[in-house]
A and B are shown apart, each in its own frame.
Chain A
Amino acid sequence: MRRLGVFGPLATHLAAPLAPTLALGLALMLGARPALAVLPSEQLANPRLEARAHAIGETLRCLVCQNETIEDSDAALAGDLRRLVRQRVLAGDSDDQVRAYLVARYGHWVLLKPPFEPDTLLLWLGPVGVILIGGVGLATLVRRRRAGEAEAPLSPDEEAALSNVMTRRDRI
């Protein structure tokens, strides 16, 4: 389902928040026949640079797809982004510069790993918070248990019940 029949509705879904010109561009691109993910013609001749471009591409979202990286996607837009990434890599940009270049054009939506910033504090620190709070809870639990370990002796009722059990066992 990942690659099928989703482009039409998604184009309208995505088009709304985007600038009209981009929406037109998207609609045009989506009309084109889909190709298959990374194409031979797109690859860089230098395998080291190609590997770097591929690694960068895997952290970038195909903007018109559902949770696909531009390296995996069939959409025409993903092809454009792949070529863009490779151009920037050839031009000598660092990995971060390539990503910054794409963020400047498409916004944070393009990054599959959101940056650490005020808006994403909860996202990044949430799991750490769970561990910290849980850890503190656990530590106090054990301390409280240890403090309570030398607990009160049995109540008279419990004593009676205990001796009751003991004598019954004797009888058997």
Chain B
Amino acid sequence: MIGEIGQIALILALMLALAQTVTLAMGAHRGDGGLIAMGRMAAALQFGFIALAFASLIMGYVENDTSIALVAAHSNFDQPFIYRVGAAWGSHEGSMLLWVLILSAYGAGVALFGEALREGLRARVLAVQGAIGAAFLGFSLLTSNPFLRLTPAPFDGAELNPILQDPGLVFHPPVLYLGYVGLSIAFSFGVASLIEGRVDADWARWVRPWVLGAWIFLTLGITMGSVWSYYTLGWGGWWFWDPVENASLMPWLLATALLHCCLVLEKRGALASWTILLAILAFSMSLVGTFLVRSGVLTSVHAFAVDPKRGAYLLGMIGTLTGAALALFAWRAPALKTGALFSAVSKEYAITLNNLFLVAATATVFLGTFYPVFMDALHGDKLSVGPPYFNATFAPIFMALFVLVSAGPMLNWKRDSLPGLWMRLRVPAAAAALVLVAGILIFGLRHALAALGFGLGIWLVLGAGLAPWRRWKGAPKGGLWARVRSTPLAVYGLVLAHAGLGVTTLGVTAMEGWQSQAVAAMHVGDRLSLAHRTYTLESVRQVEGPNYQAIQARFEVQGPFGAHALSTERRIYPASGTPSTAAGIAVGALGNDYVAIGEAAGPGALVVRAWRHPLVNLIWGGAFLMALGGAVSLADRRLRVAAIARTRAATSLAGAAA
């Protein structure tokens, strides 16, 4: 019964999405308010029905209704409750349902709360959003129906992949999807404005909070994924240049570029067509990511079951959506008004350069990810592109970008002078140079690159602090506090985001330059030395989890700052026979001690791998700072936009009274 409710709700949602597109497109074209109101209602209802379908699926999992094929495949009675709920989006079909749920939630958000938008623009945005929704709902229903029945129903189901049975599953996919799908709004705004033939500062003002929101979620989602893989995969890496990681990085890079150029469009009315193009490309990269994970073109850590039919549908859909948007762009963009003037030394120019580097970085990731596929398709050549390629191409581009990051906020709009800029930046520049030179002197030329990394990290952190400092300095006596308070929240958002980037850079540099590792076959009582620490294997025993058996090894780690215990497990999940690792990690301010065990190495001996990860937590700490910066900036915008709306209302009232 619960399956049928979900199934019918999903079909109704597809029809509503189609209705939404048609009524809103016609309504906007004819200026028919009735049709537009109907379309907005459809958008809200579409969300309602998808939510109903999603709730049905979760109920199916909670009740362990194995007559639903999807439930039978990923859930059993022993599986902890939370992972039966999480299993709802741990599979291809279920995660697709989550995808359309979020897509329709954004649509409903615009339909219900977008009062500040021009009526015609809002209608067209929702029409495009409805078309995307229809395409994905069609994909879900035609190729990956989550509600297919199984007869006869098995007594108990199989199991969710043990690696996914982790709190990470509960948060990582929904947050990441909020980011991916959030970019659909930017896409819809872009296409709608091309249809309208009108892009201006107001457009940027409306679209920026959506992009910012999506960017925050993307940042958080990618960071969570990185943390998750760090502690579950059992060998302590934080980024692997895996195709699916790349798929999330590409939209993030373009969303970052989009955020910055929206700023130019909003403040100066320039770069209109470039902004639209970025909005289209950013969401296209989200779509490409979906394709990558679900088509089986690339086998990867995250890849879901391989099914050529899905790949063909997705490719067709991406081709149609992106192709139509780009064709529309080619046709309409030349008619868009070119914006204000700016010189080669100006904030606008710095942001344009920032966009250039971010696009080049995206191109690198794209080429590295897809080149093997192209080569294979072209002449059957097998070619690998791995971390060494990305380190050689992505890193230099980002280092060049970092130089700009601290300069940008210090530049004036429209026109500035290089000597003036240099004077403003002399403190962080000197500090960075000092760190670079000191680093080379202390650690030797072998670590010159790491010294440069530290220098850039310091440059970013100090440079971020300059933005508010510039507002505060020279305050009259006792007036400092007033200046601190009058500084807009957005400035603090900028400080957090840019400094976060610096903090992440410091962490990455320390990890790349100084992480160390040791491997040994150990008996109980044996010792292993690593990075001024001694690991002693204290005990090995068998433990029982709710749905797994494990070998647990306990270590005592004697370090320079005292001793601590560390325990690690190697688990076997009998339902599917798959092993997994629960690494032992001691988190510290200066870095982590990380240990994992493998198979037996002879009688009574275990293979033990231990790592020292210096400053690794800064990588994620910095990323969270970036997301926090985004949130602070978003809070400011909401208040300010509301204030503008209030002032406008007041002036128009006053005008009417006069």
A binds B: yes
A138 contacts B360, C-beta separation under 8 Å:
no
A35 contacts B599, C-beta separation under 8 Å:
yes
CB nearest neighbor in B for A132: B360
Total count of chain A residues near the partner, CB < 8 A: 53
Q: Which of A23-31, A64-72, A155-163 contacts B (4 or more CB under 8 A)?
A: A64-72
CA distance A58 to B240 in the complex (A): 12
CA distance A34 to B579 in the complex (A): 11
| Contact A13/B299 with A67-B243, A111-B384, A127-B367 known, Cβ cut-off 8 Å | yes
B367 contacts A123, C-beta separation under 8 Å:
yes
Q: Which residues of B contact A148 (CB under 8 A)?
A: 341
- Interface status of A4 (Cβ within 8 A of chain B): yes
- Tell me if B's interface is mostly helix, strand, loop or mixed: mixed
- Interface status of A78 (Cβ within 8 A of chain B): no
In the complex, 26 of the A-B residue pairs with CB atoms within 8 angstroms, ordered by the A residue number, are: A3-B233, A4-B161, A34-B599, A39-B521, A39-B607, A59-B386, A59-B388, A66-B300, A66-B301, A67-B241, A74-B598, A110-B384, A112-B389, A113-B388, A113-B389, A119-B375, A122-B367, A123-B371, A126-B364, A127-B363, A131-B356, A135-B356, A142-B343, A142-B344, A142-B349, A148-B341
B389 contacts A114, C-beta separation under 8 Å:
yes
Q: Mark A8-24, 1 if CB is under 8 A from B, else 0.
A: 00100100010000000
Q: Mark B353-375, 1 if CB is under 8 A from A, else 0.
A: 10011011101100110010001
| Contact A120/B300 with A35-B599, A126-B363, A142-B344 known, Cβ cut-off 8 Å | no
B341 contacts A61, C-beta separation under 8 Å:
no
Partner of B599, one of A33, A112, A124, A135: A33
CB nearest neighbor in A for B345: A142
CB nearest neighbor in A for B384: A61
Which residues 217-260 of B sit at the A interface, judged by CB distance below 8 A? 233-235, 237, 240-243
- Interface status of A38 (Cβ within 8 A of chain B): yes
Instruction: Count A-B contacts at CB 8 Å.
Output: 152
B302 contacts A130, C-beta separation under 8 Å:
no
- Interface status of B485 (Cβ within 8 A of chain A): no
Q: Which residues of A contact B353 (CB under 8 A)?
A: 138
CA distance A97 to B578 in the complex (A): 38
Q: Which residues of A contact B382 (CB under 8 A)?
A: 17, 107-109
A138 contacts B352, C-beta separation under 8 Å:
yes
A39 contacts B299, C-beta separation under 8 Å:
no
B364 contacts A4, C-beta separation under 8 Å:
no
CA distance A41 to B521 in the complex (A): 8
Q: Which residues of A contact B235 (CB under 8 A)?
A: 37, 72
Instruction: Give 19 A-B pairs besides A109-B383, A141-B352, A145-B341 with Cβ atoms closer than 8 angstroms.
Output: A3-B579, A36-B609, A38-B519, A38-B609, A39-B521, A41-B601, A58-B388, A67-B243, A67-B301, A110-B384, A111-B384, A113-B385, A113-B386, A114-B384, A120-B371, A120-B383, A126-B364, A127-B364, A127-B397
Q: Which residues of B contact A10 (CB under 8 A)?
A: 299
> Which 8 A-B residue pairs are closest in the complex by CB-CB distance?
A36-B598, A112-B386, A113-B388, A109-B382, A134-B356, A130-B360, A127-B364, A40-B521
A114 contacts B385, C-beta separation under 8 Å:
yes
| Contact A2/B233 with A123-B385, A127-B364 known, Cβ cut-off 8 Å | yes
Where the two chains meet, the residues of B that have a C-beta atom closer than 8 Å to any C-beta of A are 161-164, 233-235, 237, 240-243, 299-302, 341-344, 349, 352-353, 356-357, 359-361, 363-364, 367-368, 371, 375, 380-389, 392-393, 397, 519-521, 576, 578-580, 596-599, 601, 607, 609
| Contact A113/B599 with A108-B381, A142-B349 known, Cβ cut-off 8 Å | no
Q: A13 to nearest B CB, angstroms?
A: 7
Q: B519 to nearest A CB, angstroms?
A: 5
Q: Which residues of A contact B367 (CB under 8 A)?
A: 122-123, 126-127
CA distance A146 to B363 in the complex (A): 30
Q: B371 to nearest A CB, angstroms?
A: 5
B380 contacts A17, C-beta separation under 8 Å:
yes
CA distance A5 to B382 in the complex (A): 23
